[in-house]
Structure 1
Amino acid sequence: MNKSYNLLFKSALNISTSIFLVKLIFIICFLASGVITTSLLRAQEVDRIAAIVNDKIISTHDLNQRVELLIFSAGLKNTQSQKLALAPQALRALIDELLQSQEARRLNIRLAAKDTSDAIKRIEKSNKIPYGQFKDLMARNGVSYEAVLSKIQSEIIWQKLVRRRLLPSVEIGEEEISNVYRKIISDSGQIQYRVSEVLLPFDGESQQKSVLDLANRLSHQIRSGKKISDIARQFSKSASASKGGDIGWIRMGELDNKVNTTLNSLAVGDVSKPILTPNGYLIIQVKDKRKLGNLKPDEILISLRQYIFFNKTNISVKELKKKNETAIKTLNNKVGCREFSKAAEKLGTPQTDLPVSLRLNELNEDLRKVARTIMLGKPSRPLISTKKIQIIMVCERQTSKQLTRNQIRETLLRQKVDMLSRRYLRDLRRSAFIDLRL
């Protein structure tokens, strides 16, 4: 089961997309209702108490920093009215993060220094930020690095907790997968929709109006040109938030009845108004439409493993190759992705439990050429440049638009873990002592 769950925690590859985008680190938890006055956001009140969560304090300074972080990462206008609108949500996010951290500490789940540094490195790499310059980038944009760091660490610790605490209770049966697979086969030739979403849950009627107001505001922002991926990473509480709200290709009938009705009325590019669902308010955007059939060459879906060694000391290509002679020889003798993965991890490249799945057109040109033709389960030739040396292994290719059983398993698992994670956090809130001072 751990193998399937790792879809949620992929490590970065040398590809054009990565789940560790800069804005990924600012995923926001549940929303809050309440009134926050203009004076809250004034600099002179940095020492006021905004909330007490069990035995910990959240100050107005903490709140101000999180609001600034939200505005920057979502690309919103930095106005006083915007700050006031986002403050309740920012406070709720800080409360949830404290609850998550406290629960992790109770369960003796620790955060290693390497966890944070590795996350920063992945962010820099995937966004082409010079090594070690992420902190300076935040400073240049007026964003508190401490606030960013706190958000990164809370994400990591919660992932660890969910993986240890919730994963063992999730089961995906073969019959469950078969039922979905048979449905997919029977729908061959029908229209599929590529959909992105923003899910905004709320706890009870007291929060419903404020969440609806926010949903309307965000829906308007997306229709006005803001990327739904940016908004999703900041505000959505669906498991798809880490992928910018992208839930992939779906068929009519897979979603809630209200959502299906709305989906049927949208053209490519259209954004819905907030839709009330059992899980909260949902905003969807249709990114593309297609009929089930064979994929174009560059749309072929592959799963792969990789070994990568970065040339941090700027040695020559010849020296770089010599330094990796042992790794090249070791990996060249491996057959199958499981053995390749074990060897690559021992050689210093962290591995996910499952191979990473992506389309050929998401790879850079050099990798795409290799991944298109290499034999399954065989290591590629070393791909050497002045910056790095890389060896990949393709584990699976999918040439049709139908999902594989493994993809269906991953989707079902993600949905169940998402539901359990939201329920766990809701229970933590209900059992905690929370004193709002604003």
Structure 2
Amino acid sequence: MTSARKVTGLAARGVALAAALAAAGAPLIATAQTPAPAAEAAPAAPAAPLGLTESVAAVVNDDIISTYDLAQRMRLLIATSGIQPTQQNIQQFQREALISLVDERLQIQELRRQEKEQKIEIVASEDELNAEIGEMAKSNNTTPALFVASLEGQGIGINTLKEQIRAQTSWQRWIRGRYGSRLRIGEDQVKAQQQRLSASASKPQYQISEVFLDANRVGGMETAVTGAAQLIAQMQQGAPFQAVARQFSASATAASGGDAGWVAAGEMAPEVEAALEQMRPGQLSQPIQVRDGVYVIYLRDKRAGAGASVVNLKQAAVALAQDASPAQIGAATATLTTLRGQVTGCGDLEAKAASVNGVVAGDLGEAEIKDLAPAFRSAAETLQPGQLSEPIRTAAGLHILAVCSKRASGAEAMTNEQIESRLYGQQLSMIARRYMRDLRTSATIETR
């Protein structure tokens, strides 16, 4: 079904709601950093009796979002983001609040449909919501009762928070349950990522946090750029980056406050990479426009690429005197070549070698490639993790090497499990975004 969207009246209602929201008070939830006063605060005024002025803000497949729902969500956004409401950003709060409410209604509608079709319970129960609120209170070093009271003191009803938690928790559980069990990260994908990491080991690496505004979600690239600029202005005035990322970012890192960890050249969009090259640790980027949205990057730290690579090696060897005859060398070569064809990598090298007479296998440990014997160095430079060398002749005998891992000197190597976990999260996030895009496309959404 073609979606119908009516956008007239949003700007006017944003100004009307500014007065009601201005009395929200200082945020009591995300207090990692106290924001500086905004340059121009919205004029304080007593909140209008919402029950008398409540009307329809949007209709999502016949499900009504009222102006009361919208005002409540805006209050919650202000409290949890640490951003002070001003005449300049009140429309952004309204836009984000309305988008979130529409998405959540679509999610709950889809989950209810799935519950009915599959006869299973998906949507979070009241007990689960209360448990989650208890955890939120604990993380804020308070009790659930005081936590709820702090919300009410800012004009936020507890049901507003519960509805947000209900949609987020239930949707994440559904996505992970429906797609997570089917999603498989192949060994070839892990190896390809290892190769990319090894190739970028000598390049600069950046520890970053990110906010990503999805242009498709917020209503176009121009809106995303404007919104990013407003968020930057608020963070420069003291709004905590982590809180802003949790509420506004469409990236998978939003749940961790935007923390993307250490990244290297080749892992990021070229536009982001170019911006990072010009930044210093502690700096906040300007809006960075990419193909499908806009990034705001906070560069936490930067380190130079390593000048050396470290490898972890195992070997299987046949002892040969330095003056061994061609026949002896040929027999040893045939033995190791046969063994090489049976071995899949470091995991089974020693076990397979133990069953072959005259072959001794062992773990050579970790070393910088430049420190290896010349005969081993060439193989270690060219082989990727999991690969085995051809037989190598030394004064002590004939060897085959297996590269177990390779990393940059001075940098912590990512394990196979860590790489698999990162790829899994990225793919699951992409699936969830496509799912939501399909729901929005097929829905009838009218904003008034």
TM-score where L is the length of structure 1: 0.64
**Cα deviations across residues 36-87 of structure 1 (Å, max 9, x unaligned)?**
3133566356420001111211000010111111111111223454333321
Distance 1:99 1:271, change over 3 A: same
Contact 1:40/1:60 (CA < 8 Å) preserved in 2?
Answer: no
Contact 1:121/1:131 (CA < 8 Å) preserved in 2?
Answer: yes
Contact 1:36/1:88 (CA < 8 Å) preserved in 2?
Answer: no
Within a 5 Å distance, the mapping from 1:79-228 to structure 2 comes to 79-108=86-115, 109-188=122-201, 190-203=203-216, 207-228=220-241
For residue 427 of structure 1, what is the aligned residue in structure 2?
Answer: 438
Within a 5 Å distance, the mapping from 1:282-431 to structure 2 comes to 282-291=295-304, 401-431=412-442
Unaligned runs of 5+ in 1: 1-31, 294-397
Shift of 1:185: 3.4
For residue 11 of structure 2, what is the aligned residue in structure 1?
Answer: 36
Shift of 1:96: 0.5
Distance 1:277 1:33, change over 3 A: farther
**Larger RCO: Structure 1 or Structure 2 (Cα < 8 Å, ≥ 6 residues apart)?**
1
Contact 1:33/1:206 (CA < 8 Å) preserved in 2?
Answer: no
Distance 1:116 1:253, change over 3 A: same
Amino acid at match of 2:415: T
Q: Does 1:265 align with 2:272?
A: no
Amino acid at match of 1:425: M
Instruction: Classify the secondary structure of the residue corresponding to 2:142.
Output: coil
Distance 1:216 1:151, change over 3 A: same
Shift of 1:401: 1.1
Amino acid at match of 2:226: D
Contact 2:129/2:165 (CA < 8 Å) preserved in 1?
Answer: yes
Distance 1:400 1:82, change over 3 A: closer
Shift of 1:290: 2.8
Contact 2:96/2:218 (CA < 8 Å) preserved in 1?
Answer: no
1:120, 1:176 → 2: CA distance?
38
1:204, 1:236 → 2: CA distance?
11
Amino acid at match of 1:36: A
Q: Does 1:281 align with 2:298?
A: no
The farther-off stretch of 269-278 and 193-202 is 269-278
Instruction: Classify the secondary structure of the residue corresponding to 2:220.
Output: helix
Distance 1:277 1:434, change over 3 A: same
Shift of 1:160: 1.4
1:234 to 232, 243, 247: 247
Contact 2:210/2:297 (CA < 8 Å) preserved in 1?
Answer: yes
**Cα deviations across residues 106-135 of structure 1 (Å, max 9, x unaligned)?**
111232233212211221222211354321
2:430, 2:126 → 1: CA distance?
29
For residue 304 of structure 1, what is the aligned residue in structure 2?
Answer: none
Instruction: Classify the secondary structure of the residue corresponding to 1:90.
Output: helix
Instruction: Classify the secondary structure of the residue corresponding to 2:301.
Output: strand
Distance 1:164 1:224, change over 3 A: same
Instruction: Classify the secondary structure of the residue corresponding to 1:273.
Output: coil
Distance 1:433 1:187, change over 3 A: closer
**Cα deviations across residues 138-186 of structure 1 (Å, max 9, x unaligned)?**
1233332221111111111111121122224422111110121233234
For residue 388 of structure 1, what is the aligned residue in structure 2?
Answer: none
2:166, 2:269 → 1: CA distance?
34
Distance 1:226 1:110, change over 3 A: closer
The farther-off stretch of 38-47 and 417-426 is 38-47
Unaligned runs of 5+ in 2: 1-5, 21-47, 116-121, 307-406
Q: Does 1:256 align with 2:231?
A: no
**Cα deviations across residues 289-347 of structure 1 (Å, max 9, x unaligned)?**
23577xxxxxxxxxxxxxxxxxxxxxxxxxxxxxxxxxxxxxxxxxxxxxxxxxxxxxx
2:150, 2:218 → 1: CA distance?
41
Distance 1:57 1:179, change over 3 A: same
1:291, 1:181 → 2: CA distance?
19
For residue 49 of structure 1, what is the aligned residue in structure 2?
Answer: 56
Contact 2:206/2:262 (CA < 8 Å) preserved in 1?
Answer: yes
The farther-off stretch of 54-63 and 71-80 is 71-80
Shift of 1:226: 2.5
Distance 1:204 1:98, change over 3 A: closer
Runs of 4+ aligned structure 1 residues displaced above 6 Å come to none
Amino acid at match of 2:16: S
Q: Percent identity?
A: 33
Contact 1:195/1:248 (CA < 8 Å) preserved in 2?
Answer: yes
Instruction: Classify the secondary structure of the residue corresponding to 1:199.
Output: strand
2:445, 2:199 → 1: CA distance?
51
Amino acid at match of 2:112: R
Shift of 1:211: 2.0
Contact 1:193/1:286 (CA < 8 Å) preserved in 2?
Answer: yes
Contact 1:50/1:63 (CA < 8 Å) preserved in 2?
Answer: yes
Compute the RMSD of aligned alpha carbons: 2.5
Shift of 1:282: 0.8
1:153, 1:205 → 2: CA distance?
22
The farther-off stretch of 209-218 and 186-195 is 186-195
Instruction: Classify the secondary structure of the residue corresponding to 1:171.
Output: coil
